[in-house]
Amino acid sequence: MMYSLRPIMNQTQMMDMRYLLVIGAFMMGTFHSLAQDGTSRALAKGEIEQQFLSTNLTLLAGKYQIEQARAAILQARLWPNPTFSISEVNLWRNNPAETMPPIVGKWGKHQQVSMELEQMIETAGKRQKRIQLERLNLKSKELEFEETLRNLKFDLRESIIELQALQVQETLYQSQFELFNNLSEVFYKHWKEGNVSEMEYVRIHSEMLSFQNELTEIRNDKLLRIQKIKTYINLDEDPLIVIADTLAIDRFVIPQLLQWKLDALENRADFRLASNQVEISRQQLAVEEAERKPNVQLSLGYDRGGNIMQDFVGIGASIDLPIFNRNQGNIKIARLDIEKSNAALTQNKLMIVNELDASVTRLAQLQSIIEKLGGQFENQLDQSLEKYTRNFQNRTISVLEFVDFVSSYLDNKKNLIDRKEQYLKTIEELQYVIGKDI
């Protein structure tokens, strides 16, 4: 049997109860978050991304790696240094000795010296092949930077969406907590006066504690997301971050599967990196095949007093004979590396196509759910809450009925928030798979 307070509550008590319920109902649609706190800092998603691009330390490290690859090209362009040597220098006179013209003053009549200048000349275009290899390595570093940026941006955007969802949940549960906290105080007073049953007070109070626990978990999750975002944008200030943008879906994405697959293969940095790795393997094979051809060592020598000529100047050349070592092992390794790189490229392409198919399927499923939960149903849900609130004010429904409806209302609202969050994250996942914003 429904238990009503109307017969046993005086007019002042009813006014207090209605006042609290009306305040609580209005708080359902009011944003009471940390964004309005003096210790927080509200940032739009675009501001966070801009700060991320300019201050993220991981991206800064990636830029240094690119500059290192440019320096490697510079190094590959350099010629080998010539070698200069002095030998056969005697600091004293050895008998018997011939007399020669002095070198400095009266010194050097019996001194001998030999000098040689050597320069290695690389054959088979080895230097140009190494330069081309380093250029491909530079391209790999640039693509690795793009891939790092793609991964970090995706993770950052997911964290922002999660923080947005937590903000909406906090607002939703904060308003209910404040409502039921006030109701708990009123019901406790009327329970002590004998106007309401202990069961009704306990039910209201336990609901308030449940909202309090839920708020604590939400705020802990928020702190984790905020900490992560602050690390991404290299922010060490004390204020907490609040996302200024709302968790809203402006429009649904129309799938363009065939075009997206082409875009992914054109834009994905990891696919282009795998393709560039094939070119690196081929260029490495060209370098190894060139290495089997020996280099030429040219020399220019001068000898004083060491032979039949007092001042002898001569030229020479040397070359390795490729009899035993023709770089066979390294050439085989390079050929096998080409096959491995081609297999990795094919695997990468298959992975991209499957990822895209899965993302599009999830997007369509979530869109169907949101269309059913949002729009008219969400408005009906909010209107039903207003009706239940008015009925509870007028005491035409019991505490248990009101609490049960609020619980069902929150479940549906949270479910809608979760689906919106998943939908927005799936869009980010889709953009991550395609390799560009859609």
Residue 109 to residue 102: CA distance in whole angstroms: 4
Average pLDDT of the chain is: 87
Quick check: 230 pLDDT over 80? yes
Quick check: 15 pLDDT over 50? no
The model's confidence at residue 35, banded by pLDDT at 50, 70 and 90, is very low
Q: What residue spans define the domains of the chain?
A: 11-80+122-292+327-434
Residue 124 to residue 104: CA distance in whole angstroms: 46
How far CA 316 is from CA of 205, 304, 331, in Å, comes to: 101, 17, 31
Residue 310 to residue 91: CA distance in whole angstroms: 18
Q: In which region does residue 261 sit, left (phi positive, over 0), alpha (psi from -120 to 50) or beta (all else)? A: alpha
Residue 270 to residue 267: CA distance in whole angstroms: 9
Q: SS3 for 33? A: coil
**Mean pLDDT of the 120-131 span:** 94
The model's confidence at residue 393, banded by pLDDT at 50, 70 and 90, is confident
| Phi and psi, residue 88, nearest 5° | 55, 35
Note the pLDDT of residue 105.
81
Q: Percent of the chain having pLDDT more than 90?
A: 59
- Write the pLDDT tens digit of every residue in 234-283: 988 767 889 988 888 878 888 888 999 999 999 999 999 999 999 999 99
- Given a contact cutoff of 8 angstroms between Cβ atoms, the answer to whether 360 and 257 are in contact is yes
Q: SS3 for 84? A: strand
For 256-327, where are the alpha helices, taking DSSP H only? 257-267, 269-291
In eight-state DSSP terms, residue 37 is S
Quick check: 3 pLDDT over 80? no
For 340, residues 6+ apart whose C-beta sits below 8 A from its C-beta are 281
The model's confidence at residue 287, banded by pLDDT at 50, 70 and 90, is very high
Residue 53 to residue 233: CA distance in whole angstroms: 8
Note the pLDDT of residue 296.
96
Q: SS3 for 124? A: coil
- Given a contact cutoff of 8 angstroms between Cβ atoms, the answer to whether 284 and 337 are in contact is yes
How far CA 343 is from CA of 277, 283, 336, in Å, comes to: 11, 17, 11
In terms of pLDDT, which residue wins out, 371 or 70?
A: 70
pTM for the model: 0.81
Residue 361 to residue 427: CA distance in whole angstroms: 11
| Domain 11-80+122-292+327-434 part of CATH 1.20.1600.10 | yes
